[in-house]
Amino acid sequence: HTHTHTTHPHTHTTLPTTAAAAAMDEIQRCVDAICNESSSDACMELCQMLARGETVQLHDGRVLDKKQLLVEAIRYDPDDFSMYTTLLFELARGETVRWHDGRELDRKGILAEIVGRFPDKSWAYFNLCKALAPDETVQLPNGRVMDSKQLLVEVLRCNLEDGFAFFGLGVQLA
């Protein structure tokens, strides 16, 4: 809540309440941690504070939204699996995000990054397979090019109990 204070009959100044001031202090603390410590935790915390479409300006002048903050967090801590999945859920179909190396990645590109970084995550292979068109292939970060059948085989390598992968592979081989 804010309180409006009248300073002139036609001029209004909005003064933040204690809660709003505390939130601004917390945002500033996170921005400082990102800029001074390259903190992935601060990026994630700030992501949770921002609403879709809101941005924050870092000390270096960059203005980042939630998705870009998540990419920044991944750059600081590329082995934190939860940041990749959070980014996937933030990214709408057809939307892209600029990766820390300058590439524009869509959901398929992020799934390929997950597969490349976490080769034991069967759901990433499965979701990447679902995202491909029937005759489409995808290149993984290690350079390997895979089609949907190969991705399903990888799902089974990771999890032999995945019935969806057995079914999907059977349909594709039929």
- Per-residue pLDDT, 146: 95
Pairs from 115-124 (Cβ < 8 Å, separation ≥ 24): 115/140, 115/154, 116/140, 116/141, 116/142, 117/78, 117/79, 117/84, 117/141, 118/81, 118/84, 119/154, 119/158, 120/158, 121/81, 121/158, 122/154, 122/155, 122/156, 122/158, 122/159, 122/162, 122/165
Say if residue 71's pLDDT is above 80.
yes
Chain mean position to CA 165:
25
Does 18 score more than 70 pLDDT? no
Q: What is the pLDDT of residue 13?
A: 41
Residues of the chain with pLDDT > 90, as a percent, come to 34
> Is residue 161 over pLDDT 80?
no
- pLDDT, residue 31, reads 65
Express as a percent the part of the chain with pLDDT over 70: 69
pLDDT at 78: 92
Q: Which of 27-36, 42-51, 57-66, 125-134 has the lowest mean pLDDT?
A: 27-36
Would the pTM of this model clear 0.75, i.e. be above it?
no
Please report the pLDDT score of residue 38 as a whole number: 67
